Structures are given as C-alpha cells and as structure tokens.
Chain A
Amino acid sequence: MRSDYILETVRMIEEECLDIRTITMGISLLDCCDSDIDVACEKIYRKITTAAKDLVQTAKDISMEYGIPIINERISVTPISLLVSVSGGDPVKYAKTLDKAAKDVGVNFIGGYSALVQKGMTAGDEALIRSIPEALACTDIVCSSVNVGSTKAGINMDAVQLMGKVVRECAELTKDNNCFGASKLVVFCNAVEDNPFMAGAFHGITEPDIVIHVGVSGPGVVREAVKEAGPDKTMNEIAEVIKKTAFKITRMGQLVGSIAAERLGVPFGIVDLSLAPTPAVGDSVARILEEIGLETCGGPGTTACLAMLNDAVKKGGVMASSSVGGLSGAFIPVSEDAGMIEAAEKGVLSIEKLEAMTAVCSVGLDMIIIPGDTTAETISALIADEAAIGMINNKTTACRLIPAIGKEEGDTLNFGGLLGYGPVMPLRSVSPDVMVKRGGRIPSPIHSLKN
C-alpha cells in the first residue's frame, strides 16, 4: 500500500471534512396499514423500533472500527398519505408516532410524512398535506415532503397552490422557534424514491421492505483537489480531477454501506454521492466554485462551473459504485453553506441566480430564507417555477423556502447546527396571484411521450 495514498485519505478525513453524512434505513410501512388509525400507529411503532433497533449502534461500531466519521443515522418510511388513505382520522397521530419511534431508536431525523400528488390528490393525500404545519410544529424530528410535479405527469397546480399556504403556515406555527417547521418541509418535482438525505427522504413503494442507503459528502475534499490542481489547468482537466476525487469518496460510501447492510441483515440500496455542505469552515460547495475561478459564488460563470461540477461528480460516482442513486450531485442549500451565506450577504447571490443554478445541479431552491410578509401565492409561484425546471429538464428539483415571520430583507435567521443561518433574501414584489389561483394542471411536456 502506498504511503501517499494513506496520507491522502487521512488528510481528507482530518482536514477536509470527508465523512459519511448519513446512513439511512428505508422502512416500508405498507404492512402497517389498518382501517383503525390507532392500530396502524401501534404497528408502525413496533415495526420501526424492531427494524432500526441496532441502526445507531451499528453505525457507531463501523465508525470506530474503520476510522471514518459517520455523522447521522436516519430513517425514511413509506409516504404516510397512503396509510391515511386507508385509515382516515387525524394524520398528525402518524407524525407523533414517527417522532416517538425515531427518538426511541436514537436516529436524528425520520422522513416520509409525505404525499405524491403530481397528477392528483386523493382524500388521504389532501388530509395529510393540510396537516403538515401542525405535524411539523408538534414534532421535533419528523420531515415532510410533497411531490407536486413530474416530467411524466406535469405539474399539479392545485397542489402547488395549496403548498404555498402550507409552507407559510409551517413557518407561522413555529415563528417562536426560528420558523423551524418550514425547514423540515420539501416540495419536489420528480422526487426520487431512494434519497437518503433529509428533509426530502421517503421510502418509495417500489423499494424492498427494509433497505440501507448511504449518503457521502465531501465538498472540502473536492475543493482541496481543485486547489492543488492550480489555476493553469483547463476546465476539462479540472473536471477530470473532480471525477477522480468523487470516485474515491464514493468507494468509501460503497464500502461502509455494504458493511452496514450486512451487519443489519438487510439489502444494500444505493450510495448517494452528494456534495452536501455544512456551515463548518471548509465544507462548502460555493467555495469549490470559487476555487474553480469565480471571485464570489453567484456572479457570472457560476452556472457553468456548477454544471461541470455536478456532472463530474456523477461520472466519478458511477464508476465507483454499481448502485449510485438518490440525488447524487451538488447541493446548494444557502443557509447550510458558509460560502453561499457570504455571497448572499454581499448581495451577489440572488434567488434568480439560484434558480438558474438549480437547472444544472441536483436539487433546487434549498434553505432559502424569504421575507416574512411573502404571500402564499408568491411562494406557490416560486414552487411552480422550480417544478417547471425539473419537469422540462427531466431532473429532480425542490423548494425548501423559509418565510421568516416578522423579519424583512437584511435580517438574519439562525437555525443552529447543520441547518446553519442566513440572511433574509429579497424577492420581487409583483403579484402572481391570478396565475396561481387558476389551479388545474400544467400538462406534461412533449418529450414525456416516449412510448
């Protein structure tokens, strides 16, 4: 074994924040359906606490044994709207059950308080969506997501209209706690069913009963590699450097995921190789873009650099694992990325530029703090714009917008921990009300008709 390889790996972990961001256990709750909601909740509690009882300890053991930091253990479950459709009743009961079960097994988030309504809503879907603000306010670690569009189905504008209200209400109900509720809710277009990252994780109905997914991260490692390559390399040479780095990171994820799956006795699902930033110094996607050669992230050239980065990450990852899945690309959550926060504070990074960036990276308008007086219709319109980018480009897009109730442009909202902090970003104050209130559906694009 070459000593420079060994030292490179040690440096990645010690200095460049390389880690396994999450080991996520996907658990199907389809066998917990019951026409009596209390019976269903009891079955859910039992299934989660049985299936995931060793998850946290196993992750700890692997982390110690292999010398790799594993930051989070999480659980994703079948979209709860399916269970609500069977049982009826108050969906918040499910949220409380998930919260309790997740806390009892020691994970730090549980995702799947979700509904997939890209083509239409059932009564269960609608009941769940309307209950999201209360569910997120009265629980601590439950995450929710709603898929409102897809390339195949188009965009459900009735759902988009409703989600604008729901996002606002989530923030209002938690206004004494930094509007925290809205940070646990993602509105998707083309949601993926095997995403291990929160807040958008849920366990798709095409997945096995129980499965282990792994999310790897390492923006710091990629940045150092680009820095080492120097300013004289061409863009294709930089892409090559990123590809090789992504390969190494993914291999680590593949190894840890397969060991975890084996020890827990469940199938291994996917490695999600996403450059997921944290507010920690050196763990920023914006800094990679700046290292490639931009003065500040958000300026001209940002979209091109991000497109190259996102593609190179995927190419490296695909070679390293036969089961790359999830979102796999670069995340650009503003409040969770020191470089993005700085760029937004300087006024260089705007929501419009972020929207362009979401057309070429793996997610969408993520962890963006908007003025507290933003109307539900404006939020719906932002969701519709993002969904349109996803629908037309055959990719996942998402919105995690946080209306900072009682605050305006220039103020700051601080969530603490991995969710970070950020400035309230300005929005254009013209009204999209008529368009949003039309409702109905934006038909699927012509290129969805492939059969």
Chain B
Amino acid sequence: MRAVISVVGKDRPGILAFTANECANRNINIEDVTQKVLEDIFTMIMIVTIPEDPEEYHSFVTDLESLGEAQGLKIHVMHEDIFNAMHRI
C-alpha cells in the first residue's frame, strides 16, 4: 500500500530534507519525489510505502502534519487509492 505526501509552503532550504528525515526516522521508504518552486512557493509530492500497522501509520501522519504546520508548511498525507479512484476511469 502506498501513500502520497504533498507539501506546500514558502520556499527555503531544508524542506525536502525535513520531510525525508521524518520518513527515515519511521523507517518509511520513499519511492518517488517530484518537486518544483513556482513564484517562491515550494510544492513537493512524495510517494511512500506505508507501514502495515495502522497505529504506526496514524502516528506518522499526525506527527508529520503537525510538525509541518509548526514550520509553516501544509502537509497532507492521503492513500494512493483516492487519486486512482478520482482521476482514472
């Protein structure tokens, strides 16, 4: 099962490193990363393998979203299936 992490915020050094670090700390594997900066706004999409244990996954999502918020980043973690359902016929 895979999840999509989206990160949006004002560009500055270390955003990718911060997100990747949080994943590494939880032993979450990053499969793909796309990022770009448009008019000073940093946007990144990261595809990761999610842990089997729901408890572990819940705490990862809650921590990442709140840590992001503290740094002025909008981080959202969603299951890959949502995008497949909404955008593929």
Contact = CB atoms under 8 A, between A and B. Distances in A.
B17 interface: no
A103 interface: no
A206 interface: no
B45 A9 contact: no
Interface in B73-89: 74, 76-87
Contacts of B78: 9-10, 13, 66-68
A14 interface: yes
A273 to B, nearest CB: 13
Interface stretch (A110-118, A249-257, A369-377): A249-257
Interface in A234-265: 248, 251-252, 254-255
Nearest to B57: A65
A248 B82 contact: no
Interface residues of A, number: 21
Contact of B82 (A2, A14, A64, A255): A255
Given A6-B6, A7-B45, A61-B54, A67 B86 contact: no
A3 interface: yes
A13 B82 CA distance: 12
Contact of B45 (A6, A65, A67): A6
B58 interface: yes
Interface in B25-71: 34, 43, 45, 47, 54, 57-58, 61
B68 to A, nearest CB: 12
Interface residue tally on B, bucketed by range:
20 to 34
Contact of A66 (B6, B34, B43, B82): B82
B76 to A, nearest CB: 5
Contacts of B15: none
Nearest to B47: A1
B19 to A, nearest CB: 15
A248 B82 CA distance: 10
Which of B54, B76, B80 has most A Cβ within 10 Å?
Answer: B76
Contacts of A255: 81-82, 85
Interface string A46-67: 0000000000000001001111
Contacts of A65: 54, 57-58, 79
Given A65-B54, A255-B81, 6 more contacts: A1-B80, A1-B87, A7-B6, A61-B54, A66-B78, A251-B85
Interface of B: 3-4, 6, 8, 34, 43, 45, 47, 54, 57-58, 61, 74, 76-87
6 contacts: A6-B45, A10-B76, A14-B74, A14-B76, A61-B54, A255-B82
List the 10 closest pairs (A to B, CB-CB), nearest first.
A67-B78, A66-B79, A255-B85, A5-B87, A251-B85, A248-B86, A10-B6, A3-B45, A251-B86, A10-B76
